[in-house]
Amino acid sequence: MKEIIKHMNSSINLGILPKKDTLPKEVYEDCFHFKFLSKLLDKDFEELVIHHSSLVSLRSNEHKSYHQLDISQEMLELAFEVLSLQNKITWNVSFPFISKKITLFGITYRLSLLHKSTGSKHHKYFLRKKKKSFFPIESYNHSNLLSKLFSEKKNIMFSGASSSGKTSLMQSLLKESCREEDVLVIEDTNEILPVHDHWTFLTSNNSEQLKKYCSYSVRMYLDRIILGEIRSIEIYPFILSMNTGLKGFMSTLHANNALDTMHRLGVLFELYSETSSLKFETVMKLLCSQIDFVVYMENKQIKEIIEVLNYDQRVIYKNITSSI
C-alpha cells in the first residue's frame, strides 16, 4: 500500500490523475468514486464535516451524530486530492480555504476545504447539501410583510448564524420575482437557484473578483442585485451601488441579532474601505440611509425584523415584529 500511495502522490504532484489500471479496485473506488462515503451520504443531513478518518460529524436541524470512516487518513487525503484535481480546484498552503460546488453520487454539494497549514492537525472537509427546492414564502412567519417589502423593492439584509436559513428565505422571496425583472446574482458558490432563465449569474470564490463583479453591476441595466453573502471587500462596491438609483438589493451576513447586523456591516465597510480617513459615524449614516430592513433568522425561523430609520450616534430603528 505504501508503494501505491507513493505512486499516487507522485502523479498528483505533477497534476496528473493516476490511471485506473495502475490501482487496486478498492483504492480506485475510494479515491475516484468516494465509496467510503456512500453510506454516510445516504443519511439525512445538512452538513457533513470530516475532521479526520476516525471522526466525521453529521449535522441536521434536529441533532448531531458522529461516525468513523472505513479508510486510512492517507487514503482519505488522497481521495480529496483526486477530487480537487478532477474539479480543477487549486488548494494548497497559498490557497488554504476553498469553497466550490461539486457532484457526488448524482447529488450537488457545496464542498469547503480547509488546509491543515491554517493550524489544524489534519485537513478538514465540509460537505453541505445544495437544496433543489425551497419552502414557499407562505410557510414563513411574517410572510405577508416580507412579500410586501419585496414587491416594494426594499433593500433587505438577511442575517443569522451559519445554516440559520438566510439564503433559503432569500430564495423563497426571489420566487416572488416577476418574469419581466432582470436580476443579477453574485455568489462565491452557486446556491441561489434561478427563478427565470434570463437571470444573470456571476460566480467566483475570489474576493477581489467578487468586488469587481459588484462594481460591474452598476454598468448593467437591472431590476435587482443579489449578493449571496457579505464577507469582506465586496461590501464596499455593493453598498455604494445602492446609491445609484437602483432598489431591491438583498444579501446575507453572519450576525448575532438584527441590530448587530448593522454594526457588523459598519465594521466591515470601514475595514475594507478604500478611504483610510473614513469615520465610523459617516459609514453608519451611509448604511442606515441605504439599507431599509434587516431580517434576523434563527433555526430556519424569522426571529426579528427591524426597519432601519436613521443614525444619530446610534442606529435608529423600529422593531417591526414586536408590533405585529
pLDDT tens-digit map of 98-133? 888 888 988 888 899 999 999 999 999 999 887 666
Q: Span 12-25, mean pLDDT?
A: 87
Please tell me the predicted confidence (pLDDT) of residue 117.
93
Pairing of strands 224-227, 183-187: parallel
Can you tell me the distance from the alpha carbon of 246 to that of 225, in angstroms, rounded to the nearest whole number?
Answer: 9
Closest of 194, 206, 259, 200 to residue 231, by C-alpha: 206
Looking at residue 62, what DSSP letter applies?
A: S
Hunting for cell 423593492 — which residue is that? 153
Q: Indicate the pairing of strand 97-104 with strand 107-114.
A: antiparallel
pLDDT level of residue 277 (50, 70, 90 thresholds): confident
| Residue with the three cell numbers 475532521 | 51
**pLDDT confidence of residue 191:** 85
Residue 280 has a pLDDT of: 92
- CATH 3.30.200.20 assigned to 2-129: no
pLDDT at residue number 13: 85
202, 228 contact by CB (below 8 A): no
Which are the contacts of 266, defined by CB distance < 8 A and separation ≥ 6?
280, 283, 284, 287
pLDDT band for 265, please (50, 70, 90 cuts): very high
23-48: average pLDDT = 90
CB proximity list for 179: less than 8 A, separation 6 or greater: 196
Residue with the larger pLDDT of the pair 260 and 46 = 260
- The candidate with the shortest Cα–Cα distance to 33, out of 106, 100, 89, is 106
Separation of alpha carbons 16 and 149, rounded Å: 52
The whole-model pTM stands at 0.76
How many CB atoms within 10 Å of residue 313?
7
Beta-bridge mates of residue 318: 307
Helix, strand and coil in the chain, % to nearest 5: 35, 25, 40
Beta-bridge partner residues of 127: 48, 111
User: What is the reported pLDDT for 133?
Assistant: 65
Q: How large is the average pLDDT for residues 278-307?
A: 94
Q: For strands 55-59 and 64-67, give the pairing.
A: antiparallel
Give the residue among 97, 79, 94, 91 at the shortest CA–CA distance from 27: 79
> How many residues in the chain?
324
Q: What is the pLDDT of residue 98?
A: 87
How many Å from the N-terminal Cα to the C-terminal Cα in the chain?
Answer: 65
List the chain domain ranges: 2-129, 137-323
Percent of the chain with pLDDT over 70: 98
What pairing do the DSSP bridges indicate for beta strands 156-160 and 183-187?
Answer: unpaired
Which of 120-129, 173-182, 223-232, 244-253 shows the lowest mean pLDDT across its residues?
Answer: 173-182
Cell of residue 89, nine digits: 480546484
Q: Which is nearest to 137 in space by CA: 218, 214, 195?
A: 195
Kindly tell me if the per-residue pLDDT of 324 is higher than 60: no
Task: Report the CATH fold assignment for 137-323.
Answer: Rossmann fold (3.40.50)
Give residue-wise pLDDT tens across range 43-83: 888 899 999 999 999 988 768 899 999 999 999 999 999 99
pLDDT at 132: 64
CB within 8 A of 76, min separation 6: which ones?
36, 50, 52, 53, 69
Percentage of the chain with pLDDT > 90?
61
How far from the centroid of its chain's Cα atoms is residue 169's Cα?
A: 14
Rounded to 5°, the CA angle 237-241-242 comes to 130
Of 116, 21, 130, 117, give the one whose Cα is nearest residue 76.
116
